[in-house]
Amino acid sequence: MPDTLLFAMEATLNGLTAGVMYALVALGFVLIFKASGIFNFAQGVMALFAALTLVGFQSGQIPFSHLINAMFGTRLHHFGWNMPTLLAIPATVLVMILLAVLVERFILKHLVNQEPIILFMATIGLAYFLEGVGDIMWGAEVKALDVGLPKGMSGAVDDVTFAWFGYGFYIDRLEIWAAGIAALLVAALTVFSQYTKQGRALRAVADDHQAALSVGISLRFIWVLTWSIAGIVALVAGIMWGSKSGVQFSLSLIALKALPVLILGGFTSIPGAIIGGLIIGVGEKLFDFFMSPIIGGATENWFAYMLALVFLLFRPQGLFGERIIERV
Amino acid sequence: MLYREAGDFKTSYVADNQTFPIKFDRYGYYFILGFAFLVMPFIINDYWANSIVVPFLIYTIAALGLNILIGYCGQLSLGTGAFMACGAYGSYKLMTAFPELNIIFVIIIAGFITAAVGVLFGLPSLRIKGFYLAVATLAAQFFLIWLFTRTAWFYNYSPTGMISAPTRDVFGVAVTGPRASAVSMYMICLCFLVVTAWLARNLTRGSLGRQWMAIRDMDIAAEIIGVNPLMAKLTAFAVSSFFVGISGALLFTVYLGAAEAGEAFGIDKSFLVLFMVIIGGLGSIFGAFAGAFFLIVGPVLLKLLLVNGLGWPTDLAAHLEIMIIGALILVFLIVEPHGIAALWRTIKEKLRLWPFPY
């Protein structure tokens, strides 16, 4: 088998695993957009915030220690203990739920019935606010996140591919785990939204706000619920991306990477988010593989957007989105 | 009492059609113009020019441009940073390729180049709208910045990848490069701002502006009453990009002096200008000024207060600044979704009765 084909196959596999990571972020977007029609720009920053909080809990950092030190001249840094991961994750989930309650109470409640663009801006404001809060609470330096997930080259994939093709593929074990966890997450979300009472209420709200209100579904509770779920999805994405490349500011920029995924998959479709993520991941890697010798590297920065742009011209509602019907 | 539309009778169409038909507005406008041209040049110093006044003037031009696109034509764009980079690199290439060309023409031509690029990236707006369009403009943002950092021709093969502005004169006074004084920097930016603001004001209240607003309010209905959506949207993209390009050219040539595309014109610039437009007020020329003022002066004041006043470390102050800006945006959207311009409108309502309420 020619080498180029093997390398291309490896790039495709890597693209698939990278695509899963994009899909994880896109999932959070889709959830909130479906339930409240809000395009939540803060999703990436929520992932960053969740990861920061998790690391902070794990290492026993004192929240706001930097700020307190500056205000009162103290020298606080750590509580002096390390929280086990199994305890730190539920604690972070609690923080994300608290965040959802606060967002509903202080922002969404006041912006009911505003135009979508105003709500979009509000989430950009929220993104900035959360970014600042996260930095002040836990400090801005790059942190390593380790929740016990395996890392490094997967020996099994290497062996199998070597036996088949005489060339071992490099696949990160972390990304295989990420794919498994994403599958679990989607399964859990599907079960939740199909078979539980709250899940049905959630779908009702997504379908028609007013009709849901009139049968006695509390809109405010549903919003808290969606934002909590989005927060938990953000935590999962934060753990995955944080374990991969460290917890740092650039984590919040993965939100921007999720946008073309959404365009491709449609804003309202969970399977769309997954498939869109995979297409973007594979397309990006293959394009870079074939084109970088010709036009220079780092095409990942824009390829996804260009793909989305071209795609939009032919199918504005995305692969799985609902058909856009316009009335005057 | 102070602000009144009534009793101000016009006897000719020219008087009726003037840019500021209401006396209070007109005198306020003359006063500000007089202050800006006759008083400021004598009191401005390097610190004020560099930290507040010149960035304010330059970003106001960008905010005016983006306001035309978002506020008047309703097309959400997140590519402002890249269009500013277009203006900057356009002016750099022109300055180095035609050294004897006057800097004023260089900046204007850079504006036209940006307008062409803007129209190109505005083409998808004919098919898509709203958030989808925002993502499409993100494509412009990332692609153009990538192009400018990867293609050596754009930065004349300089080893650092930076572009730096050579010295250029206007009437024998250096306005760019290291020899430029605070006053000359201020004056050239002010002149460009006055002309672009006058242009924006008159474009938006003319037939073109009405077409934009019709498209913004409901594009299908606008099409039915005879507005050509192709023309309206593309002219909005062209005019907006022209302004943004001029602003980017000024930012690079006059203010920064040296720039690198990814750093100086990243996505954060797009958001900064977007915030100016939103906080100032969508669909208002005054709003562009107010928003730019707010977001340029606010951080400087915060930094003065926190770093110099309370003696906090700069990194902490920077994080607080992000947090406070985010919170302010939220507060503004909740209290007054229509921005500072709407606040000003309310003040005018009050001034109408003050000091003799019913």
Residue B69 lies in a domain: yes
CATH number of the domain where residue A241 is located:
1.10.3470
Q: Report CB contact under 8 Å: A309, B330.
A: no
Instruction: Give tens-digit pLDDT for A4-57.
Output: 777 787 788 888 888 888 888 888 888 888 777 788 888 889 989 999 898 888
Which residue did the predictor score with more confidence, B355 or B137?
B137
What are the tens digits of pLDDT across the range B252-299? 988 888 888 888 888 888 988 998 888 888 888 999 999 999 889 888
Domain presence at residue B6: no
- Residue linked to tokens 């093997």: A6
Round the average pLDDT of chain B to a whole number and report it.
87
Interface check for A73 against chain B (CB to CB < 8 A): the answer is no
* Shortest Cα distance, chain A CAs vs residue B257, angstroms: 27
Report the domain count for chain B: 1
Residues 6+ apart with CB under 8 A from A223: A35, A36, A104, A108
Contact B326 A121 (CB under 8 A): no
**Which residues in chain A have their CB less than 8 angstroms from residue B323's CB?**
128-129, 131-133, 136
| Contact flag A129-B128 (C-beta cutoff 8 Å) | no
Tokens of A309: 């742009």
Q: How many CB pairs under 8 A join A and B?
A: 131
Q: Which of B71, B284, B243, B294 is nearest to A121 (CA)?
A: B71
- Give 10-residue mean pLDDT values along chain A (328 residues): 75 82 84 79 89 86 75 72 81 92 89 78 88 84 75 70 71 80 86 86 82 88 89 89 79 78 80 85 84 72 81 75 68
**Assigned domain for A319 exists:** no
A48 touches chain B (CB under 8 A): no
Residue A65, amino acid = S
CB contact under 8 A, B334 and A111: yes
**What's the mean pLDDT in B34-40?**
88
Picking from A64, A49, A60, A50, the residue whose alpha carbon sits closest to that of residue A136 is A64
On chain B, the residues whose CB falls within 8 A of the CB of A256 are 138, 267
Q: Which long-range contacts (CB under 8 A, 24 or more apart) does B42-45 make?
A: B44/B182, B44/B183, B44/B186, B45/B182
B308 shares contact with chain A (CB less than 8 Å): no
Would the pLDDT of B56 be above 80?
Answer: yes
Whether A219 contacts A212, CB under 8 Å: yes
pLDDT for position B196: 94
Tokens of A157: 């994939």
Nearest to B333 among A111, A133, A136 (CB): A111
- Residue A321 within any structural domain of the chain: no
Q: Identify whether A29 is part of a domain.
A: yes
Instruction: Please indicate, yes or no, if residue A161 is contained in any of the structural domains.
Output: yes
Residue B72 belongs to domain spanning: 22-263
Report how many domains make up chain A.
1
Which A-chain residues 305-324 have CB contacts (< 8 A) with chain B? 305-306, 308-309, 312-313, 316
Helix/strand/coil percent split, chain A, to 5? 75, 0, 25
Contact A121/B at CB under 8 A:
yes
pLDDT digits (tens, 9 = 90+) for B78-126: 889 999 999 999 999 998 888 888 889 999 999 999 999 999 988 888 8
Distance of alpha carbon A248 from alpha carbon A126, whole angstroms = 18
Residue B8: strand, helix, or coil: coil
CA distance A301 to chain B (A): 6
- Identify the domain containing residue A103 by its residue range: 3-314
